[in-house]
Amino acid sequence: MTTVHIVGAGMAGLAAAVALIKAGRKVVLHEAAGHAGGRCRSFHDGRLDRSIDNGNHLMLGANRALFDYLDDIGAPGGLVGQERAALPFVDIRSGERWTLRPNGGRLPWWIMSASRRVPKSRARDYLAALRLAWASPEATVVDCLGDAPGRLYERLWKPLTDAVLNTDPHEAAARLLWPVVYATFGQGEAACRAYVARDGLSPNLVDPALAFIARNGGQVRFGRRLRALERGGGLVRSLVFTDDEVPLSAGDAAIIAVPSWNMGTLLPELALPEGTRAIVNGHYRLDRRVTLPEGSRLLGMIGGTAQWLFARDDVVSVTVSAADRLVQQANEALAETLWADVARALDLGAAPLPPWRIVNEKRATFAQTPAALARRPGPRVGLSNVFLAGDWTDTGLPATIEGAVLSGRRAARSALESH
Ligand SMILES: Cc1cc2nc3c(=O)[nH]c(=O)nc-3n(C[C@H](O)[C@H](O)[C@H](O)COP(=O)(O)OP(=O)(O)OC[C@H]3O[C@@H](n4cnc5c(N)ncnc54)[C@H](O)[C@@H]3O)c2cc1C
């Protein structure tokens, strides 16, 4: 039987492997690191003595490809979500709190209700979001929505853009925000429900996929870095790894599912999105279990440094996206700054700094600017037996788990159609 070799065992590579196995194909995954999951993983932190995720990952009811993937690997209960969509916020400076409550049904009438929308905003402020639908490829989020202080910009559009595109709204591509705004606010309340991994990213999203692959005869090989693609006659003849070479026989194919910043040496002729943006996460172990307002899985934070707060048992984690300036700071200072925001958000008073861990992901995603958007390739790159996957490829979605899964499934489909 012919084999599909998949390089990179992040969410894109795993999703490709699962789709190919379901179609009856033999797969071998090659991963440079000693573990799977890539930018979506958990690890045991000795200082906190807890398993933590590299970063808080928020998923949405609208993420159909992800839910299908979880069904396929036999782990549908891996995500826990809200029973009703509700997004609580706190303004760290004033202590003001409010909750966004999208309604059921496709017509977003919640924007007409003062108790369901951002305080002091007007229904017509939200209609500005429709400008994203017709945004030119060059437009930024601020070009479409403005950045006037005191209205929705600070309390909704900026936090949403930072979270979804990991890029400041002044440079983030408007076209990439629209699919998420539409999916979350234009497809009814269930699409807006926030989901998080029940126990952690690895146990819920990654390990069940590895078990599925092993159960179905697939192989996963760790510590294997792809160095080059040896080409000839419009196809790739062999995959050159650090220690060995894997020839591709007739009918074999390869899916390359590595981040854009690792692609340059593999396909130097490919125009790639340039630039990356960082995400900082601060994790704190408290002396008790924490629950958030409205039984929510997360809390939006305005006016401080931390942007989103997540809680799992006694660990509270905060996220700062588009955080390139922040990663220059010493971790100790960052831990203090973020803790001050946490203490205010949770009304903890002058609580001393608990055990903490800062995780800086300097290359969390590519910079999702209009220029980068124009440089996202599809799965086909002019080689008949090689296909691309990854959150940075042209999925029409931002660089997210949903985008990564979609890209993996799409690359698998292309490989199946060609072979
Ligand atoms: C801190 C943080 C927070 C995030 N928050 C969210 C969120 O809230 N919601 C959301 O949906 N998304 C979020 N994301 C984005 C999400 O994690 C990514 O979009 C997704 O995991 C990307 O998956 P991928 O498979 O495309 O790439 P990766 O996860 O980067 O996987 C690529 C794999 O390829 C391997 N590799 C690289 N080069 C080679 C080589 N030459 N040979 C072999 N293997 C190689 C890497 O080791 C890696 O395992 C976040 C990301 C970070 C870092």
For 20-46, write each residue's pLDDT tens digit: 999 999 999 999 999 999 999 999 999
CA atoms of 410 and 186, how far apart (whole Å): 25
Task: For helices 174-185 and 158-165, give the axis angle rounded to 10 degrees.
Answer: 100
Whether ligand 1 lies within 6 angstroms of the CB of 79 is answered as: no
- The closest residue, in CA terms, to atom 3 on ligand 1 is 55
Distances (CA, A) of 44 to 51, 287, 311, 355: 4, 18, 17, 14
Q: Tokens 């305005």 identify what position?
A: 302
Whether ligand 1 lies within 6 angstroms of the CB of 40 is answered as: yes
Whether ligand 1 lies within 6 angstroms of the CB of 30 is answered as: yes
What's the pLDDT at 293? Answer: 79
What's the pLDDT at 296? Answer: 81
Whether ligand 1 lies within 6 angstroms of the CB of 257 is answered as: yes
Find, among 366, 379, 372, the residue nearest to 408 by Cα: 379
Rg (CA), the chain: 22
Whether ligand 1 lies within 6 angstroms of the CB of 9 is answered as: yes
Instruction: Please give the distance, rounded to the nearest whole angstrom, from the Cα atom of residue 14 to the centre of ligand 1.
Output: 11
What's the pLDDT at 186? Answer: 80
Which two three-digit tokens encode residue 56? 């808080």
Distances (CA, A) of 261 to 54, 114, 139, 149, 367: 19, 45, 24, 36, 11
What's the pLDDT at 11? Answer: 98
Whether ligand 1 lies within 6 angstroms of the CB of 361 is answered as: yes
User: Which atom of ligand 1 is found nearest the CA of 390?
Assistant: 26
Whether domain 3-34+222-274+369-418 has CATH 3.50.50.60: yes
Please provide the DSSP assignment of 247-301 as one string: EPPTT-EEEE---GGGTTTTSTTS-----EEEEEEEEEE-SS----GGG-SEEEE
User: Which atom of ligand 1 is found nearest the CA of 13?
Assistant: 25
- The closest residue, in CA terms, to atom 20 on ligand 1 is 401
Please provide the DSSP assignment of 175-207 as one string: HHHHHHHHHHHSS-HHHH-EEEESS-HIIIIIH
Read off the amino acid at residue 90: V
What's the pLDDT at 367? Answer: 98
What's the pLDDT at 323? Answer: 97
- The closest residue, in CA terms, to atom 37 on ligand 1 is 258
What's the pLDDT at 120? Answer: 87
Mutate which of 6, 7, 40 for ligand 1? The one with the most ligand atoms within 8 Å of its CB, which is 40
CATH 3.50.50.60 residue window(s) in the chain? 3-34+222-274+369-418
Whether ligand 1 lies within 6 angstroms of the CB of 398 is answered as: no
What's the pLDDT at 112? Answer: 87
* Low-confidence residues in the chain, pLDDT < 50: none
CA atoms of 115 and 238, how far apart (whole Å): 61
Instruction: Please give the distance, rounded to the nearest whole angstrom, from the Cα atom of residue 325 to the centre of ligand 1.
Output: 21
